[in-house]
Chains A and B, each alone.
Chain A
């Protein structure tokens, strides 16, 4: 039996399922107020206007939330790479007892529901004095991004032949020099992709950010709490600003994400 048409149909449905909302959000974010409220909405973009967008940026707290989101995402990026890359390197290069269990365990952390963790975490954060700070949110986001950072960098380092490092050792490098002069330059594009991915995870994360902040909201947390009692144009513009950076970044690093999935399937 030929399943190909069925697969094609399924693929088209899935693609439309994802693309139509994004398309609507994007077109309406750049339309004037009248067409945002219009019903039924035309499928084609209405007349182009920055009215909705400028209204969005005019709302109090938006700029602060964007700034918070950027700070949290940047911290998450730095922590994830600094912690994840050495772990990935160790997984790729050293055979140690429990390496396979460790690899699995890293993924298991993603299976642990954040909802259960959230309340104890909030209590701990209050005790430690990092509740409602960008640093506190960044720590949680790092915990979320770290499994990906470890697995992506591990497959990245696996792709760099060990002989290159060994050749550097025989040519006068110690281990650190060999890493800096040979491995790091070759790993750089992949490390950049890992960093961007950590950034995107943090940028999109809403649950922990909502629970662990009150005034220092990140953009998703800010939008979540204010969305229900906001006018429609605000929702479209906000949605647009949540989706687009993530989409752009994911598109840039998609090649590295495939290698991650290749590893995860093994």
Chain B
């Protein structure tokens, strides 16, 4: 068990700047997810922490050891790869035992650790098989068991679920959560799947273009995105951003006025509001603004509406039994405690005072 700390990591591949000054701290026993679109540098950061890639600048600590110059084998880490990387020429038992054999563990410890790791992943009955005889999900279990068997100080996972089909991914996700809550291993987990990140993480580090743009608990990241990128990337459908005129310390949506938490210098402000935080009414109500329904998409648990407000489009979700059709005008009430105010030019959230 140990914390992970990276400071000012920079990495360039040819002309492409993969990481520009990333600093991040993962506390002991914490589960942190690195989330971002492909090419944002999240996997590169993970590989630098693993020692598989060398940073151009910056340092990496695991616990209180500076591991920047150490090869992967000396870092006391374990890694789970996207394509599992289970050794095809070894049985499941030998795969899980691989790290322990390299540590020259005693036969008793080896057997005990392998069996414990196999039991945790529910693969005790597969120990004599070869990877070719296993399904994708089972191979992934072997890969995780192999990583856990060496009792690493930190566990690094690179999109471990992305090669599984949707149903299996859901199952493995819940299982991983249970498992890592049990084993209490410090874990850094890379994914581009925001649902996976939300469901698993203690904290999410959202990355974009080689930087960490927000690092906070999942619900904070969801409800209080640091900028328009985070609000748009997390949540499906993404957060709405409405450009509104400012009058004094208030923003106006038609007849509706909303108080701004902080003075705004420019003539306009950006309102971020989640689709589920817009309450729809068929007749005018206080604290609402009108919008015309363009599209109605029944999604099962709710209806997804696309509405037009002036030239801007808004997504809103309403209960499945809500009577609505395209062309109709609805009155929307934003939940006052769920609003996010952002600067329209920089896209950054306004500081709360």
Please, how many angstroms separate the alpha-carbon atoms of A161 and B87 in the complex?
Answer: 10
Contact with B along A183-209 (1 / 0, CB 8 A): 001100000000000000000000000
Q: Does the CB pair B52–A166 fall under 8 Å?
A: yes
Q: Does the CB pair B98–A168 fall under 8 Å?
A: yes
Residues of B within 8 A of A177 (CB): 102
Q: Does the CB pair B83–A169 fall under 8 Å?
A: no
B135 at the interface (CB under 8 A from A): no
Closest to A185 in B: B89
- B77-91 interface (Cβ within 8 A of A): 77-79, 81-83, 85, 87-89
Residues of A within 8 A of B78 (CB): 170-171
Please, how many angstroms separate the alpha-carbon atoms of A17 and B264 in the complex?
Answer: 88
Q: Does the CB pair A169–B85 fall under 8 Å?
A: no
A163 at the interface (CB under 8 A from B): yes
Please, how many angstroms separate the alpha-carbon atoms of A173 and B102 in the complex?
Answer: 7
Q: Does the CB pair B89–A186 fall under 8 Å?
A: yes
Residues of B within 8 A of A161 (CB): 83, 85
Closest to A175 in B: B71
Q: Does the CB pair A170–B98 fall under 8 Å?
A: no
Q: Number of A interface residues, CB 8 Å?
A: 16
Determine how close the nearest CB of chain B comes to the CB of A192; give it in whole angstroms: 15
A105 at the interface (CB under 8 A from B): no
Interface size band for B: 20 to 34
Please, how many angstroms separate the alpha-carbon atoms of A185 and B87 in the complex?
Answer: 10
Contact with A along B148-168 (1 / 0, CB 8 A): 001000001000000000000
Knowing A166-B72, A186-B88 touch, does A172 contact B81 (C-beta < 8 A)? no
Q: Does the CB pair A171–B98 fall under 8 Å?
A: yes
Residues of B within 8 A of A158 (CB): none
Partner of A163 from the list B72, B75, B81 (CB cut-off 8 Å) is B81
Please, how many angstroms separate the alpha-carbon atoms of A170 and B150 in the complex?
Answer: 10
Q: Does the CB pair B87–A170 fall under 8 Å?
A: no
Please, how many angstroms separate the alpha-carbon atoms of A166 and B81 in the complex?
Answer: 9
Knowing A169-B72, A169-B73, A171-B150 touch, does A164 contact B85 (C-beta < 8 A)? yes
Closest to B102 in A: A172
Knowing A164-B87, A185-B89, A186-B88 touch, does A169 contact B81 (C-beta < 8 A)? no
B125 at the interface (CB under 8 A from A): no
Residues of A within 8 A of B79 (CB): 166-167, 170
Q: Does the CB pair B85–A171 fall under 8 Å?
A: no
User: Chain B residues in contact with chain A, CB under 8 A?
Assistant: 50-52, 71-73, 75, 77-79, 81-83, 85, 87-89, 98-99, 102-103, 146, 150, 156
Starting from the known contacts A163-B83, A168-B98, A170-B51, 11 additional A-B residue pairs (CB-CB under 8 Å) come to: A161-B85, A163-B85, A166-B85, A167-B79, A167-B81, A169-B51, A171-B73, A171-B102, A171-B146, A177-B102, A182-B87
11 pairs from A and B in contact (CB 8 Å cutoff): A164-B87, A166-B50, A166-B72, A167-B87, A169-B73, A170-B79, A172-B99, A172-B103, A173-B102, A174-B71, A185-B89
User: Chain A residues in contact with chain B, CB under 8 A?
Assistant: 161, 163-164, 166-174, 177, 182, 185-186
